């Protein structure tokens, strides 16, 4: 490979892939980004749901927010804020203890240091994927990555074996491209043969995949019995986090939307019972009911929601 690359493929449009594509393009590299999903964001994406009465509900169903610990990233966040792509989520947050059935701590409102994309979590990725010099192809899965010695380049193939082009360099932003999990879920060989890059194989094994179920809830009325808009949950085997998605800046929902995250322990138990493949509707219904029951049981007078749907993710 030459030391200066002019044509690079990026696999994945989550925050890592999108930021990498943008940064390469800013430095004069021609970038083609491939994303299996229909839109950008990966684990920072949003989900549109239609309630029974036809109302459209939009949830950030992956990462609820991000924090900033480096000055370099903070200057980027300031730039995104100036373009209305993100904003600080200035609400109050707390910790709920299921042993004592009360909040063990509540943060002061307005100094959270938590940021969210606006008007949805994926807006930053969306903007980065459409920067000049980045050609983004959504709904295109990379099924195979082959190193062509004679051409000194990578050949990328789609899931059905069609050529996606040759590139001097490839950035893969998801460890799925080499993981046995890819085979478990899709029944296909992972796109990249790690025998080509043994050093990378070891490093990737050390990246954990933490399973989680998220429950999206829609309520007619604000949940006034909860004194905060987001809280972590201690001493529950089922729930780890709850937050009011519609309290984020830039959201326009007329309903009160909440999201609950399961514990890893709970998600692992469900996966052990039903397998790694996409959960069936029946499994997701059971999960939804169990997460909701736990939320109700913590003594916060939670009413029955008009919308309730679970899905699986990994953080």
Smallest gap from Cβ 143 to ligand FAD, in A, equals: 7
Residues in touch with ligand FAD (CB under 6 A): 11-17, 34-37, 42-44, 62-66, 141-142, 173-174, 176-177, 191, 212, 214, 261, 313-315
Residue 106's DSSP bridge partners are 94
Q: Please give the backbone phi and psi of residue 196, each rounded to the nearest 5 degrees, phi first.
A: -70, -30
How distant, in Å, are the alpha carbons of 70, 101, 239, 267, 287 from that of 295? Answer: 35, 11, 8, 16, 12
Minimum gap (Å) between residue 3 Cβ and ligand FAD: 26
For ligand FAD, give the closer residue by CB, 29 or 128: 128
Provide the 10 A C-beta neighbour count for residue 131. Answer: 15
- Closest by CA position to 8, among listed 156, 203, 126, 198: 156
End-to-end CA, the chain = 33
Cβ-based nearer residue to ligand FAD, 2 or 73: 73
> Least Å distance between CB 64 and ligand FAD?
5
Nearer to ligand FAD by C-beta: 39 or 119? Answer: 39
b/e burial code for range 55-66 (CB count within 10 A of at least 16 → b): eebbbbbbbbbb
Closer residue to ligand FAD (CB): 68 or 201: 68
Q: Could you tell me which residues come within 8 angstroms of residue 271 by beta carbon, excluding any fewer than 6 positions away? A: 211
- Which lies closer to ligand FAD via its Cβ, residue 55 or residue 250? 250
Peptide bond connecting 119 to the previous residue in cis, omega within 30 degrees of 0: yes
Nearest to ligand FAD of 55, 141 (CB atom): 141
Residues for the chain: how many in total?
315
């Amino acid at each position: 490979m030459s030391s200066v690359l002019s044509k690079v493929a990026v696999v994945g449009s989550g925050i890592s892939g999108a930021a990498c594509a943008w940064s390469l393009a800013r430095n004069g590299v021609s970038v083609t980004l491939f994303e299996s999903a229909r839109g950008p964001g990966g684990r920072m994406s949003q989900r549109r749901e239609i309630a029974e009465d036809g109302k459209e509900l939009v949830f950030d169903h992956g990462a609820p927010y991000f924090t900033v610990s480096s000055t370099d990233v903070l200057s980027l966040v300031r730039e995104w804020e100036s373009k209305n792509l993100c904003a600080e989520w200035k609400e109050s947050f707390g910790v709920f203890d299921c042993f004592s059935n009360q909040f063990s701590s509540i943060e002061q409102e307005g100094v959270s240091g938590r940021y969210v994309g606006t008007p949805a979590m994926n807006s930053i990725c969306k903007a980065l994927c459409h920067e000049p010099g980045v050609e983004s192809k959504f709904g295109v899965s990379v099924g195979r990555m082959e190193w062509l010695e004679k051409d000194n380049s990578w050949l990328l193939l789609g899931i059905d074996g069609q050529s996606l082009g040759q590139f001097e360099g490839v950035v893969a932003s998801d460890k799925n491209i080499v993981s046995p999990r890819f085979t478990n879920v899709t029944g296909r060989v992972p796109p990249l043969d790690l025998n080509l890059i043994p050093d990378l194989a070891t490093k990737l094994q050390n990246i954990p995949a933490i399973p989680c179920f998220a429950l999206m809830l829609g309520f007619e009325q604000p949940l006034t019995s909860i004194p905060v808009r987001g809280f972590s949950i201690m001493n529950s085997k089922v729930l780890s986090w709850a937050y009011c998605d519609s309290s984020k800046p830039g959201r326009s929902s007329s309903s009160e939307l909440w999201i609950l995250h399961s514990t890893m322990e709970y998600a692992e138990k469900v996966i052990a019972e039903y397998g790694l493949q996409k959960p069936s509707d029946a499994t997701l219904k059971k999960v939804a009911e169990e997460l909701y029951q736990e939320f109700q049981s913590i003594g916060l007078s939670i009413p029955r929601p008009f919308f309730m749907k679970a899905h699986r993710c990994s953080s």
